[in-house]
Amino acid sequence: MNTLVFWAIGILSAILLIYGACLVTHRLYFSPLAHFPGSKLVAATAWYETLVDITSNNFHEILLDMHRQYGPIIRCSPWEISISDTEYYTKLYVPAGIRHTNSAVQRFGFGLEDTIATTSDHDLHQLRRRPLEKYLSRQSITQAEAVIREKTRLLDGRLGGMRGTGSFVRLDQAYSAYLGDITVELTVGESSQMLEEADFAPEWHNIIRSILLVNPVIRNFPFLGRLLKLVPMGLMRRAYPRIAAFKMWDVLGRDKVDAITSELAEEVVPQKASFFHSLLRSDLPAFEKQAGRLSAEAVGVFGGGTINPSSALTFITFHVFNDAQIHRRLQESLTEVMACYPQRSPTWVDLEQVPYLAACVKEGLRMNCQFRRSARIAPHTELYYRDWAIPKNTSVAMAIYNMHYDPHVFPDPFTFRPERWLGDIDPRMHRSFVPWGKGSRDCPGKNLASAELYICIGTLFRPGGPYSLQVALKDCDETDFALLRESEFGVFPYGSRGLSVIFD
Ligand code: HEM
């Protein structure tokens, strides 16, 4: 019996070994990508990237080194090409009318495969994306601006009330509550009232942070997410609170969509319009309105709507507080535009015209950007880069990070320096600055996020506002905001103490 098991294991190992050797030989010598330059290791196996991803988390740096060694076009996995050349960015990330673009990355496990961000097929992606794009277009953002202004006044009032009291507050948590309230109101027409809670609902902040921190593991092993969905919540909370937080988010999405669906079925006229109300009333095909898909979409939009803007706001606020000169200059620059506040609030467009405010926002978006490369596939056409023909149906990726941190375009790229955006600037900076991505899969929330950043920072840093020069950072420094780069977007370190300030 023992000999039999021994033989079975031996034969199985031999088969696996031969299979592995054939696979690697095919990838290295016979694949249509075999002639592209790059490291043999990454061409042979994607496990190397997985290993880096969940241990040292610096594959993006390794990729940059490979570009330095092998040139602007390299093979970065058995099935993917990476290009590092700003000029090519708008040729790869094209509008839907130019050519079909599938996406290559399954971003999440946890059953979020059916959302706009995780739909690979071009046509289905366009069908799903169009309503959100329309809902968040620059024209429609006027409606959103009213909500943003209302929530900003609330935040401003709460923080203003603390001036001179010596109390301290976690601003990163306050921002997550602020952005969560805006996103929930716009997407499901309901006020989540987190801004009104005494401590700004820290559990919401913890949920969104957990997602970013757990993302590298789930990205590499998406089946884990699906498996974990089956584990009872109580058990998961005890075993792994971070993942339990994600599950709570999932439940939230499902509850909200179920509530709107029954509201519409009972013909209750909702007080407010929202993205999901209009989506459910629209003529989208029935299969697109299935509860499971829409709740995943809600989870995705709550996430997109809170995580990135919250992280950008926290990052910018820290860097402004951390440098008295930047702080003073920002405040002075807002004197005129905020002169009539609170009787009249300036619009997003008014605030965009304030050069120093715009410089702070841009510098924040430059540094706090999408770090991971984003791959696209042209299913029907070959792509051409210089003398290279890339076979159709190949994943081709570029990384915003490589462009935003290019020291030739942005000298001293790891330093927050708004001044670099003022005066006569190097035109390459405009070409290299793509915080929202480009093309048919760029960020549909860019207008909303931009309006939030301008209105919130403009209001809170105005002369006489809550962020007067008497506000001081408490128990935090630069190390708490050094962005980790292994998630999709920058995330603050695991041990980050958050952004605490004291209102003297
Ligand atoms: C500072 C804030 C934000 C930044 C920097 C940002 C950045 C981005 C980027 C770079 C992409 C493209 C990803 C890729 O090509 O792989 C993206 C996609 C996306 N973003 Fe944002 N985003 C922000 C805020 C928002 C907001 C407020 C929402 C929603 C309300 C949102 C929803 C989405 C969605 C749904 C996608 C997927 C689009 C698609 O695949 O077609 N984002 N975002």
157: CATH: 1.10.630.10
430 alpha carbon – ligand 1 mean position (Å): 19
Residue 470, domain extent: 85-503
283 pLDDT tier (thresholds 50, 70, 90)? confident
301 touches ligand 1 (CB under 6 Å)? yes
154 alpha carbon – ligand 1 mean position (Å): 26
Contact yes or no for 52/58 (Cβ under 8 A): yes
The residues facing 103 across adjacent strands are: 376
449 touches ligand 1 (CB under 6 Å)? yes
Over residues 197-218, mean pLDDT: 80
Query: Cβ-count burial of 439 within 10 angstroms (0-12 exposed, 13-18 middle, 19+ buried)?
Result: middle
43 touches ligand 1 (CB under 6 Å)? no
Phi, psi for 302 (deg, rounded to 5): -55, -40
pLDDT (tens digit per residue) in 418-457: 999 999 999 999 999 999 999 999 999 999 999 999 999 9
489 alpha carbon – ligand 1 mean position (Å): 10
Stretch among 204-213, 234-243, 269-278 having the lowest mean pLDDT: 234-243
498 alpha carbon – ligand 1 mean position (Å): 23
Fill in the DSSP letter of residue 370. B
Residues of the chain with pLDDT > 90, as a percent, come to 59
305 touches ligand 1 (CB under 6 Å)? yes
Q: What rounded mean pLDDT belongs to the chain?
A: 88
Distance CA 302, CA 313 (A): 17
The H or E element spanning position 406 is none
Distance CA 113, CA 119 (A): 7
444 touches ligand 1 (CB under 6 Å)? yes
Strands in 197-291 per DSSP E: none
Q: Which sign does the torsion angle of CA 412, 413, 415, 419 carry?
A: positive
Query: Cβ-count burial of 159 within 10 angstroms (0-12 exposed, 13-18 middle, 19+ buried)?
Result: buried
Q: Which of 112, 211, 308 to mutate to test the pocket of ligand 1 (most atoms within 8 A of CB)?
A: 308
User: Nearest residue CA, atom 3 of ligand 1?
Assistant: 308
Q: How many domains does the chain have?
A: 1
Q: What does the pLDDT read at residue 350?
A: 96
Query: Closest ligand 1 atom, CA of 132?
Result: 35
443 touches ligand 1 (CB under 6 Å)? yes
Judge whether residue 162 has pLDDT over 90. Answer: no
Does a structural domain hold residue 12?
no
Judge whether residue 166 has pLDDT over 60. Answer: yes
Does a structural domain hold residue 161?
yes
Does a structural domain hold residue 184?
yes
87 alpha carbon – ligand 1 mean position (Å): 22
Distance CA 348, CA 448 (A): 10
Annotated binding site: 443
180 touches ligand 1 (CB under 6 Å)? no
Query: Closest ligand 1 atom, CA of 93?
Result: 15
Does a structural domain hold residue 224?
yes
72 touches ligand 1 (CB under 6 Å)? no
Does a structural domain hold residue 31?
no
Query: Closest ligand 1 atom, CA of 186?
Result: 30
Query: Closest ligand 1 atom, CA of 448?
Result: 27
472 alpha carbon – ligand 1 mean position (Å): 32
Angle at which helices 446-460 and 291-321 cross, to 10°: 30
pLDDT (tens digit per residue) in 84-100: 999 999 999 999 999 99
427 alpha carbon – ligand 1 mean position (Å): 25
Does a structural domain hold residue 369?
yes
User: Nearest residue CA, atom 40 of ligand 1?
Assistant: 117
393 alpha carbon – ligand 1 mean position (Å): 24
The better pLDDT of the pair 470, 316 is held by: 316
User: What is the value of pTM for the model shown?
Assistant: 0.91
Annotated binding site for heme: 443
Query: Closest ligand 1 atom, CA of 107?
Result: 16
Strands in 250-347 per DSSP E: none
340 alpha carbon – ligand 1 mean position (Å): 33
Judge whether residue 14 has pLDDT over 80. Answer: yes
Contact yes or no for 126/102 (Cβ under 8 A): no
Over residues 397-411, mean pLDDT: 95
Does a structural domain hold residue 105?
yes
What is the arrangement of strands in the sheet containing 80-83, beginning at the earlier edge strand?
73-77, 80-83, 395-398, 374-377, 102-103
User: Nearest residue CA, atom 30 of ligand 1?
Assistant: 305
Tell me which residue of 305, 270, 259, 277 sits closest to 148, measured CA to CA: 305
Tell me which residue of 317, 329, 327 sits closest to 356, measured CA to CA: 329
Q: Which of 90, 186, 443, 457 to mutate to test the pocket of ligand 1 (most atoms within 8 A of CB)?
A: 443
Does a structural domain hold residue 16?
no
Q: What does the pLDDT read at residue 54?
A: 80
